Structure 1
Amino acid sequence: MRLRGRKGIREELEQQKDLIVLDPRELKGRWHEHFGNDRPIHIELGMGKGIFISEMSKRYPEINFIGIDRYDELLRRAAAKARSLHGEERSEWNLALALLDISHISEVFAEGEVERVYLNFSDPWPKSRHARRRLTAPGFLHQYKGFLNERGEVHLKTDSRLLFEYSLNSFADQGLRMRNISLNLHGDGIREDLVMTEYEKKFVEQGMPIHRCEVVIGAEALREHERMLAAEEA
């Protein structure tokens, strides 16, 4: 994606320090200090215009959310969306919007600092020679495992069957437990319990299937998952 930001966009972003973080590396290990509390931190990698992460932060005020993208213009749009949902003037946010190339994500979070990673409609990089760039490739999974905590999970949604199949194999190759795997998430009606992204809404209107799964990584998350399975079998 190539985006042409309007003139003066960097200056505009610099004036929104209450919401936008232009150098997130400076906050590695200090994100709870940034938010001013010890609530769980959930992040979205490749947030686009920020619709999903903004609505999540509105729906779940007990969680801190961080939306990450590499483009100035998308941060500007995401900030506008957040302010329209939350109100223009706020003394405290449970949302931060960070500028970063995701390939450097491990430079931004310390060990155990994050509880959940959202990967929503990531670039599928369809050519085999680009597979390592997919956000579910082994190299990225290794980075996620480095900063996810005891309750750590990765939630994936995509319209790309190729990316979904690749991801399931990648998770399995890493010995990761998967749950709630769906090849057509909204096939029986819109899942009102899940926040939809802008792309997702368009794809569903066009009748396209959405693929989704949750990957359980943290030790406590695994124990909880196993307890639920045992209860269902009892």
Structure 2
Amino acid sequence: MRLRNKPWARDFMQAHPDALILEPETLKRGWHSEFGNAHPIHVEVGTGKGQFIIGMALANPDVNYIGIEHFDNVIVSALEKAIEADKPSNLRLVRANGADLEAVFENGEVDRVYLNFSDPWPKTRHAKRRLTHESFLRRYEAILVPGGEIHFKTDNRKLFEYSLVSMSDYGMKLLDVALDLHADLPEDNIMTEYEEKFSKKGQPIYRLESKFVTL
């Protein structure tokens, strides 16, 4: 998908440092201080336009939420939504690449990771770019507390099947698997923009919760 250029994006982001962090590496080991509390930290990798992470922050004030997005032209949309929601104090947006998580967070600094409608990278030669590839699972395990969880949603069945195998091969424990989330929708489900779009078309939404096993 080609992203529309927004030449004003960087200036707009710089104008709201209380909501969007442009140099998150400076907060490594200091995220609880940034939020001013010791609440659990949940991170969404690939937060897109922010509907999910903002909705979660508003619904769960006792959890700190961080939405990570790589593209300026996308994360500014999330910032606009955060401003419309009066910048929840338990929310920060971060301009960063998901491959750089260990530069942003200390080992064990995060309690949960969300992966929502990630790029499926369908070609075999691009498998290492999938956010549920073994190399990314290692990154998540490093920043998560012992026994930390990954919550994953997608409309792409092949990516879902790949992710089930990848996590199982890594030794993770599958806690919950839904092949059609909206057939029995949990009351606390917060939808992403893509989830709304695909579910309205009648496409099944796949979801899983998995946990890193501690020895």
Question: In which range does the TM-score fall when normalised by the shorter chain?
Answer: over 0.9
Residue by residue over 1:133-175, the C-alpha shift from the partner in whole angstroms, topping out at 9 and shown as x without a partner, is: 0000000000110010035100000011111110011011111
Counterpart-to-counterpart distance in 2, 1:202 and 1:38: 36
Whether the 8 Å contact between 2:171 and 2:212 is mirrored in structure 1 is no
- Partner residue, 1:58: 58
Cα pair distance change 1:218/1:23, threshold 3 Å: farther
Find the counterpart in structure 1 of residue 14 from structure 2.
14
SS at match of 1:186: helix
Q: Distance in 2 between matches of 1:36 and 1:60?
A: 16
Q: Which amino acid aligns with 1:170?
A: S
Residues in 2 aligned to 1:3 and 1:218: alpha-carbon distance in whole angstroms: 38
Partner of 1:30: 30
- Report the 3-state secondary structure (helix = DSSP H, G, I; strand = E; otherwise coil) of the residue aligned with 2:132: coil
How do 1:208-227 residues align onto structure 2 when only pairs under 5 Å count? 208-217=203-212, 219=214
1:126 to 122, 128, 147: 122
Matches of 1:72 and 1:17 in 2, distance apart? 14
Correspondent of 1:153 among 149, 154, 166: 149
Secondary structure class of the residue paired with 2:182 = coil
Q: Distance in 2 between matches of 1:22 and 1:152?
A: 26
Q: Which moved more, 1:97-106 or 1:113-122?
A: 97-106
Deviation at 1:197, TM superposition (A): 0.6
Residue among 180, 185, 188 paired with 1:193: 188
Which residue number in structure 2 is paired with residue 230 of structure 1? none
1:176 aligns with 2:198: no
- Aligned twin of 1:41: 41
Q: C-alpha root-mean-square deviation of aligned residues, in Å?
A: 1.5
CA–CA separation in structure 1 for the residues paired with 2:72 and 2:66: 15
In 2, the alpha carbon distance for the partners of 1:7 and 1:125 equals: 28
Structure 1 pair 135–49 and aligned structure 2 pair: CA distance change class (3 A):
same
Post-superposition shift, 1:218? 5.8
* Separation of aligned partners in 2, 1:136 and 1:7: 32
Mean CA deviation greater in 2-11 or 139-148: 2-11
Deviation at 1:4, TM superposition (A): 3.1
Identity of aligned residues (%): 47
TM-score (norm 1): 0.88
* Structure 1 counterpart of 2:72: 72
> What corresponds to 1:232 in structure 2?
none
Q: State whether residues 153 and 218 of structure 1, in contact with CA within 8 Å, keep that contact through their aligned partners in structure 2.
A: no
